[in-house]
Structure 1
Amino acid sequence: MTELDRIRNFSIVAHIDHGKSTLADRLIQLTGTVAQRDMKEQMLDAMDIERERGITIKANSVRIEYPAKDGHTYILNLIDTPGHVDFAYEVSRSMRAVEGSLLVVDASQGVEAQTLANVYQAIDADHEIVPVLNKIDLPAAEPDRVKEQIEDVIGIDASDAIPISAKSGMGIPDVLEAIVQRLPAPKGDRDAPLKAMLVDSWYDSYLGVVVLIRVMDGVIRKGDTIRMIKTKATYKLDKLAVLKPQMVDIAELGPGEIGVFTASIKQVRDTRVGDTITHERAQCATALPGFKPAQPVVFCGLFPVDSAEFDALRDAIEKLALNDASFSYEMETSAALGFGFRCGFLGLLHLEVVRDRLEREYDIDLITTAPSVVYHIHMRDGEMRELHNPADMPDLTLVNHIEEPRIKATIMVPDDYLGEVLKLCQDRRGIQLDLTYAGSRAMVVYDLPLNEVVFDFYDRLKSVTKGYASFDYQITGYREDVLVKMSILVNDEPVDALSLMVHRDRAEMRGRAMCEKLKELIPRHMFKIPIQAAIGGRVIARETIAALRKDVTAKCYGGDVTRKKKLLEKQKAGKKKMRQFGKVEIPQQAFINALKMDD
């Protein structure tokens, strides 16, 4: 049984690629938590995609035992969190389970947009924050400048920030000492009724659902019967363990400790993240506040390329949703693509990761439709509907007005590229809210429509600033605007997967660009194919793909010209008939490329 003042719970927060997972590796290695032969890079990133892209997607936890200089052995519970804005939900959950944070800042790059976003989450959760300057051994490192920047931009004292190099292991013992000396011990009452917070849950094919908990009060033991307050379900504990990253069985968990249990729970859906766990007999008086559920902001349709794989896709999506509480889905059908699912994501990176996991882990070829956001459609009779898919747009004569989601975007950019960034935001119908300087870098705050951001805003931002800008956003609410639905017709047939909501002023430009792009992407057929962009019944742009032509007059050498004419007329009639009945095959790649809009 560990005394409360011998426990420290903390998370590591930072911008993408500032070295969170590498620092976690060094802490694990230095304390000998994992045997040297089992150590590998990014120890806590278990998924293939995490290792391949070099990013953290799921927050992971590990328990480290550290013999400190004062002669006592401390138990450190570390939660490694993602840095990407799409996974900010994972970060906010992890924050509530711990009392302190290590703020890792790259000593050569300084404070970035996501550093800010994640630190504010830590401050909201009342954390004690210890600044750590990483990559101090790089020739470009400027620790003094970055310390000043932390104080100016974030407003926390950085005079005793710890200089380290997570890669080489320099300064890591100082970090361990700082965790013990500067972070607060957890509070909790061992004799009170059990109150534990459900931090995360995931599916394991051998154990069923594994639940990560943080005990606030009381003690939980193997074999106890517990009750989830929100779902009102009761379970008997089969296994109680701590993560070192592998599970190690333990007899009991007391206040302030973080561990996992299994209780033959069949579905992750039964374990609501943020729920309060208590004993069935002696229940705690009040539940913990919990988290607000993740709001999906980007929607897109996922369809199997081969419609026979629909059942396999359904199983795969259900299994994936078990491990990812922030991903939602419902069935939908489309004339062009058959049966599939309309899925909601927290952002475009989240969408890409889910799509890659479905294709890789379950071996299914997918067609992804245009990402779209949720619009509020106010009808004339006063009803408000949510529109997830532009193809379901109701009759315009019944619509009073349409509202679209707006975001507040914070962009940090070096001074040299400021003009380009301002131009990009203006092009995307942005409204400038603020512009301040932190050293040689500008911090621009814009009010932007989410619809303009989900396509390729991030890619464009990276390309106009040569990768130096960092970007973070939060949703602020809905606002009315003149939006119209633009349909794309190929050979006079509307293609559901390509219909978009666009702003009326930009519809023609967008339609023209889309038609030109499709003209390059759709292969030529034996008949002429018109590609049109239309708003309602009005065509606003058109391109025509010329027909492939067989030379039917090749066998006529000399002779009467009417023979040639007859053959050409016959060919023309055949082409006309073919155009009526012919089906246009649009390749999968054409869908994906047509949706990557470049200005």
Structure 2
Amino acid sequence: MEHIRNFCIIAHIDHGKSTLADRLLQTTGAITEREMQEQTLDDMDLERERGITIKSHAIQMEYTLDGQEYVLNLIDTPGHVDFSYEVSRSIASCEGALLIVDATQGIQAQTISNLYLAIENDLEIIPILNKMDLDSAMPEEVKDQIVDLIGCDRDDIISASGKTGLGVEDILKAVIEKVPAPKGDPDAPFQALIFDSVFDSYRGINAYFKVKNGSIKKGEKVKFIATGKEYHADEIGTLKLKQTPKQIIKTGDVGYIISGIKVAKEVKVGDTITTVARPAPAIQGFEDVKPMVFAGIYPIETDEYEELRDAMEKLQLNDASLTFEPESSAALGFGFRCGFLGMLHMEIIQERLEREFDMSVITTVPNVSYQAYLTKDKQTPIIVNNPVDFPDPSRLDRVEEPYIKATIITKSDYVGQIMSLCIEKRGELTNQVYLTTDRVELSFNVPLAEIVFDFYDRLKSISRGYASFDYHPIGFRESKLVKMDIMLNGDPVDALSALVHKDNAYDLGKKICKKLRELIPRQQFNIAIQAAIGAKIISRESLSALRKDVTAKCYGGDISRKRKLLEKQKEGKKKMKQIGSVEIPPKAFLAVLKLND
């Protein structure tokens, strides 16, 4: 155990951690030149294209220092705020963390939130200044920021470059010298923490774990504590670039287990594995991943419903944080109500459905989970994930919505615009700290529902890409929420219903009606597009009918001839309106998401 080091990398999105991980793998000989490619650990097409890490990855390296061989287990983590639960489990599996800061951008919001997670878990922090080869690097300024943040000596900060390989040997040396060896009792009952799982279509689910105490042999019977299920350890091993089977895995090491599990729900990230013969207690800190954002996903072709269900089930095997249940809509037919960790997660699921399964889907307006209390039972909340399930206002006592604490780090030039954006989104400013003369940290309490819509895009455009954003939930608060229905010719379109704050309902209703008027094709009859709260209409737009010029053949004569023809046409239109239905084009559902463009 003295010669094992487990460490992870924490950094804001796009600070170069995947590139630096490549250099570490090359230097230690964990991968050959032939296997080498950019972002080696990011194996999804989407990860490569967007330049972000979506899944955390683990890999084992060997390095010799002063004649002694060490085993280094690197757990790469995602940098985006949506995947912070995965990051927290990876951090719980390590004894040290490389804190990577981009020398051109300085410290960003996500770096700070992941750093606090690492400090809570008593990890040894090794600060690294990356991208030192760029002309725009500001090493002295950024070093000051790091010293202020973690209180280390300036000499402890390692200058590095993932591109050129500068400082990689120093990083490996620092990991061996500073990161403590894992603690644990090799003779105690086997106890291991699951920090990730991946699905293999031939062998079922592979769970990645870190051994806290004891050891496990191939073929032993194991138990997953959170689900209570028991399996045989068909294969265990360590994680090189490819899996390497072993007969035994001991305390402090990181490995994988394959036991023929076929259902994703049976392996939960953060769960504890133990043996059936000598059971051990669960490791603290496990919780189910809670979805934050809900949206309906429907196939464009209604007969592809079963194919969409298969695609969603296969996706869930690779991404256990995706939840879904069937629902139906009068406008869109059969589909699923899905729960996501955030907007990026929703975008990625949508894109993976289109790429990996060739599914064309429509996504409805995203919303969050509310708690409604009825007048007859004011203590027990009803969870509302879909506006359609919202109780009748006459039976309603109060509604509570989830709030988050948002942290924004930005240049001081953009503070005014960002504050007005947050106030427009019903946010309350709780704190404002100047980190340096031109960098400010703003803290807001703001409803989650306002964030999921278009907040992130607008924040980036206001700050020209310089603001970084991070959030965590702080509980529910009472709020004046109403259900707004969109009606076409008096029939509500359930897929466009939304729960909105009473003060914003009028503006939002007006915007949606205007947008739909532009997008719905004209019919042979007049169409009324209305936004309503209960029985009260708050906004209306009319789409005029396509008319044939029936009076073209009357070239003179008495006016009553023309009137007679126009009256006849009017009767026809009236009859058509009673039996005609309005088709809403798919782009109308997407346009509601981009109302401010």
Q: Please report the TM-score for the alignment, with normalisation by the length of structure 2.
A: 0.97
Residue 177 of structure 2 is aligned to residue 198 of structure 1: no
Matches within 5 A, 1:234-253: 234-253=230-249
Matches within 5 A, 1:85-96: 85-96=81-92
**Deviation at 1:578?**
1.5
- SS of the residue 1:37 aligns to: coil
Can you list the C-alpha shifts for 1:264-322, whole angstroms capped at 9, x where unaligned?
Answer: 122121122222222221223x2211422212111111111122111111122122222
Contact 2:432 2:442 in 1 (8 A): yes
**Deviation at 1:483?**
1.1
Q: What residue in structure 2 maps to residue 571 of structure 1?
A: 569
Q: Tell me, in whole angstroms, the C-alpha distance in 2 between the residues paired with 1:235 and 1:481.
A: 47
Query: What is the aligned residue count?
Result: 594
Q: What residue in structure 2 maps to residue 60 of structure 1?
A: 57
1:231 pairs, out of 220, 224, 227, with 227
Can you list the C-alpha shifts for 1:32-85, whole angstroms capped at 9, x where unaligned?
Answer: 2111111111111111211121111110111111122x1111111001100110
Residue 132 of structure 2 is aligned to residue 136 of structure 1: yes
Residue 561 of structure 2 is aligned to residue 550 of structure 1: no
Q: What residue in structure 2 maps to residue 498 of structure 1?
A: 496
Q: What residue in structure 2 maps to residue 325 of structure 1?
A: 320
The structure 1 segments of at least 4 consecutive aligned residues displaced by more than 6 Å after TM superposition are none
Residue 72 of structure 2 is aligned to residue 76 of structure 1: yes
Residue 37 of structure 2 is aligned to residue 14 of structure 1: no
How has the CA–CA distance of structure 1 residues 590 and 26 changed in structure 2, closer, same or farther, with 3 Å as cutoff? same
Amino acid at match of 1:308: D
1:477 pairs, out of 475, 478, 501, with 475
Q: What residue in structure 2 maps to residue 211 of structure 1?
A: 207
Q: What residue in structure 1 maps to residue 422 of structure 2?
A: 425
Can you list the C-alpha shifts for 1:425-472, whole angstroms capped at 9, x where unaligned?
Answer: 111111110011011111100111111111000011111111110111
Contact 1:153 1:438 in 2 (8 A): no
CA root-mean-square deviation: 1.5
Can you list the C-alpha shifts for 1:68-123, whole angstroms capped at 9, x where unaligned?
Answer: 2x111111100110011001111001111111100000011101000111101111
Q: Which runs of 5+ in 2 are unaligned?
A: none
**Deviation at 1:158?**
4.7
Q: Tell me, in whole angstroms, the C-alpha distance in 1 between the residues paired with 2:189 and 2:84.
A: 32
Q: What residue in structure 1 maps to residue 512 of structure 2?
A: 514
Amino acid at match of 1:384: P
- SS of the residue 2:477 aligns to: strand
Amino acid at match of 1:432: L
Contact 1:87 1:346 in 2 (8 A): yes
Contact 1:229 1:277 in 2 (8 A): yes
Matches within 5 A, 1:53-452: 53-68=50-65, 70-284=66-280, 286-381=281-376, 382=378, 383-439=380-436, 440-452=438-450
Q: Tell me, in whole angstroms, the C-alpha distance in 1 between the residues paired with 2:171 and 2:439.
A: 29
Q: Tell me, in whole angstroms, the C-alpha distance in 2 between the residues paired with 1:236 and 1:406.
A: 44
Can you list the C-alpha shifts for 1:224-251, whole angstroms capped at 9, x where unaligned?
Answer: 2222233232222222222222112222
Overall identity of the aligned pairs, in %: 53
**Deviation at 1:343?**
1.0
How has the CA–CA distance of structure 1 residues 522 and 154 changed in structure 2, closer, same or farther, with 3 Å as cutoff? farther
Higher deviation after alignment, 223-232 or 486-495: 223-232
- SS of the residue 1:429 aligns to: coil
Q: What residue in structure 2 maps to residue 453 of structure 1?
A: 451
Q: What residue in structure 2 maps to residue 489 of structure 1?
A: 487
Q: What residue in structure 1 maps to residue 580 of structure 2?
A: 582
Can you list the C-alpha shifts for 1:371-413, whole angstroms capped at 9, x where unaligned?
Answer: 0111111111123211111122111111111111111100011
Q: Tell me, in whole angstroms, the C-alpha distance in 2 between the residues paired with 1:324 and 1:515.
A: 37
**Deviation at 1:567?**
2.5
Residue 7 of structure 2 is aligned to residue 43 of structure 1: no
Contact 2:57 2:75 in 1 (8 A): yes
Contact 2:454 2:593 in 1 (8 A): no
Q: Tell me, in whole angstroms, the C-alpha distance in 2 between the residues paired with 1:210 and 1:437.
A: 46
Q: Which runs of 5+ in 1 are unaligned?
A: none
Contact 1:106 1:134 in 2 (8 A): yes
Contact 1:131 1:158 in 2 (8 A): no
- SS of the residue 2:352 aligns to: helix
Contact 1:66 1:76 in 2 (8 A): yes
Amino acid at match of 1:148: D
Higher deviation after alignment, 102-111 or 215-224: 215-224
- SS of the residue 1:456 aligns to: helix
Q: Tell me, in whole angstroms, the C-alpha distance in 2 between the residues paired with 1:26 and 1:293.
A: 35
Q: What residue in structure 1 maps to residue 25 of structure 2?
A: 28
Can you list the C-alpha shifts for 1:199-256, whole angstroms capped at 9, x where unaligned?
Answer: 2222100111111111112221222222223323222222222222211222221111
Can you list the C-alpha shifts for 1:310-335, whole angstroms capped at 9, x where unaligned?
Answer: 11111221222222222212221211
Q: Tell me, in whole angstroms, the C-alpha distance in 1 between the residues paired with 2:492 and 2:40.
A: 49
Q: Tell me, in whole angstroms, the C-alpha distance in 2 between the residues paired with 1:67 and 1:8.
A: 13
Higher deviation after alignment, 128-137 or 542-551: 542-551
- SS of the residue 1:119 aligns to: helix
- SS of the residue 1:321 aligns to: helix
- SS of the residue 1:234 aligns to: strand
Contact 1:116 1:154 in 2 (8 A): no
Amino acid at match of 1:33: A
Amino acid at match of 1:428: K
Contact 2:19 2:38 in 1 (8 A): yes
Q: Tell me, in whole angstroms, the C-alpha distance in 1 between the residues paired with 2:269 and 2:154.
A: 34
Q: Tell me, in whole angstroms, the C-alpha distance in 2 between the residues paired with 1:181 and 1:530.
A: 72
Q: Tell me, in whole angstroms, the C-alpha distance in 2 between the residues paired with 1:229 and 1:543.
A: 57
Higher deviation after alignment, 17-26 or 236-245: 236-245
Q: Please report the TM-score for the alignment, with normalisation by the length of structure 1.
A: 0.97
Q: Tell me, in whole angstroms, the C-alpha distance in 2 between the residues paired with 1:470 and 1:271.
A: 33
**Deviation at 1:524?**
1.6
Contact 1:164 1:171 in 2 (8 A): yes
